[in-house]
């Protein structure tokens, strides 16, 4: 691929490839991929965005100006390692961004690992690559996250994850949204190509109202459920709140199963059919996300471990919502490092979670203050500015190649 457009720096408009899950796919990071592509396509420096998306049974992606879609991979397919680079070679973009976390290409070990070798394969073909990496294998509890069934397997998975991290670092640049992750890669792996990039707010949103709508006060949680994100503790906390007299509340458990936990939400709905004012709205389309968050008095994060920065927390912040969060590992430090703030509870303790939720519900002044703090953190740097940072780095990569 040395004869393509990325050998011609005099051309003004870039053709950028983006490898990502993409709506209507429901795979991990699909929403981040959507907003990344949308804002890239609006830049004057970019002529076209080529989206190397996952095949989905839900149908075709919506039309977007200056964007072409080239579905070329499937979740858990062993062929992704050659199918994605082959399609990139055919379409010959100037550079490629890869929107990744460690389970992007599959929850089965071999398929997931092979997909993460794609940046290294592109580097061999001299395709300029920038990986936006959302978590690190070193910081994931493999057993709790559903990737390992025993402590020994978890240890082996972590070792394999370190090897895959080294493979990902074969990309020209690896951008992470958390400063300590950048420091970790530089110190632990000697990764001089690890750089910090803000997560970015998905939309240039107007200042929301920090009050809550009339009617039942809504406790809401949103995510892909079944591994380290489970609804059971939150339902138990809600039951305790009802027993304490919080009869004017409802619990909304939005989202779908984690790829590792097919059938989890259907099973949960059956287990808790007797709980009053408990709702399972299922998959939330992009145009329904705003109303969902704005309906909430508090957003709960009933996690048992963390895998990095939380996209759901960023969304809660964009809509000015207060959050209750577990005090686990370095999650509190990560959250506050990004500028967010919440009421914390002891992980695995429904009573502690109920206390945290009650603290927000009982204090409208504190609820609004937390919402304002989280709004400021989430909207400090919009995605429209983050993509300019990515493009500037890509232009530098292309310029360096022409001087060699």
Within the chain, which residues score under 70 in pLDDT? 1-12, 59-60, 139-154, 157, 203-206, 227-228, 259-260, 305-309, 329-330, 403-404
pLDDT digits (tens, 9 = 90+) for 16-39: 999 999 998 888 889 899 999 999
- Spans of all domains in the chain: 5-200+381-403, 217-379
Judged on CB neighbours under 10 Å (0-12, 13-18, 19+), 138 is middle
Please tell me the predicted confidence (pLDDT) of residue 122: 96
Q: What is the largest CA-CA distance in the chain?
A: 71
Q: What are phi and psi of 373, to 5 degrees?
A: -60, -45
Beta-carbon contacts of residue 151 (< 8 Å; ≥ 6 apart): 143
Please tell me the predicted confidence (pLDDT) of residue 66: 95
Distance CA 193, CA 259 (A): 31
CATH (residue range 217-379): 3.40.50.2000
Please tell me the predicted confidence (pLDDT) of residue 404: 61
**Is-same-fold flag (5-200+381-403; 217-379)?**
yes
Radius of gyration of the chain (CA): 21
Please tell me the predicted confidence (pLDDT) of residue 3: 43
Please tell me the predicted confidence (pLDDT) of residue 1: 44
Domain range 5-200+381-403, CATH class: alpha beta
* Residue whose token pair is 């070329």: 72
Query: What share of the chain has pLDDT > 90, as a percent?
Result: 60
Strands in 298-300's sheet, in edge-to-edge order, are 278-282, 249-257, 217-225, 298-300, 323-326, 343-345
Please tell me the predicted confidence (pLDDT) of residue 307: 55
């Amino acid at each position: 691929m040395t004869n393509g457009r990325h050998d011609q720096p005099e051309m003004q408009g870039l053709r950028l490839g983006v490898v990502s899950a993409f709506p209507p796919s429901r795979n991990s990071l699909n929403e981040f991929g959507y907003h990344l592509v949308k804002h890239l396509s609006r830049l004057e420096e970019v002529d076209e965005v080529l989206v190397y998306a996952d095949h989905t049974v839900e149908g075709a992606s919506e039309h977007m100006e200056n964007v072409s879609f080239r579905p070329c991979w499937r979740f858990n397919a062993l062929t992704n390692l050659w199918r994605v680079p082959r399609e990139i070679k055919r379409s010959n973009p100037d550079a490629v961004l890869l929107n990744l976390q460690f389970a992007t290409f599959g929850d089965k070990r071999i398929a997931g690992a092979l997909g993460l070798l794609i940046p290294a394969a592109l580097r061999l073909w001299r395709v300029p690559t920038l990986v936006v990496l959302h978590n690190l294998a070193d910081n994931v509890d493999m057993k709790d996250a559903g990737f390992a069934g025993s402590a020994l397997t978890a240890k082996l998975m972590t070792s394999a994850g370190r090897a895959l991290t080294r493979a990902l670092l074969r990309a020209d640049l690896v951008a992470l949204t958390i400063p300590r992750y950048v420091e970790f890669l530089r110190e632990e792996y000697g990764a001089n190509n690890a750089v910090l990039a803000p997560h970015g707010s998905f939309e240039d949103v107007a200042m929301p109202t920090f009050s809550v709508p009339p009617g039942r006060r809504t406790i809401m949680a949103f995510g892909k459920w079944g591994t380290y994100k489970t609804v059971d503790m939150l339902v138990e906390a809600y039951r305790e709140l009802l027993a304490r007299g919080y009869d004017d509340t409802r619990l909304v458990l939005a989202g779908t199963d984690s790829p590792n936990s097919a059938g989890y939400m259907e099973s949960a709905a059956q287990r808790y059919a007797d709980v009053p004012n408990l709702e399972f709205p299922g998959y939330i389309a992009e145009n329904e996300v705003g109303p969902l968050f704005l309906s909430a008095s508090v957003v709960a994060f009933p996690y048992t471990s963390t895998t990095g920065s939380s996209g759901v927390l960023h969304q809660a912040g964009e809509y000015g919502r207060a959050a209750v969060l577990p005090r686990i590992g370095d999650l509190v430090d990560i959250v506050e490092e990004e500028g967010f703030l919440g009421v914390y509870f002891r992980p695995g303790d429904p009573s502690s979670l109920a206390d945290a939720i009650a603290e927000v519900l009982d204090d409208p002044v504190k609820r609004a203050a937390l919402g304002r703090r989280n709004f400021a953190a989430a909207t400090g740097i919009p995605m429209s500015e983050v993509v300019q940072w990515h493009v500037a780095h890509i232009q530098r990569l292309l310029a360096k190649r022409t001087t060699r």
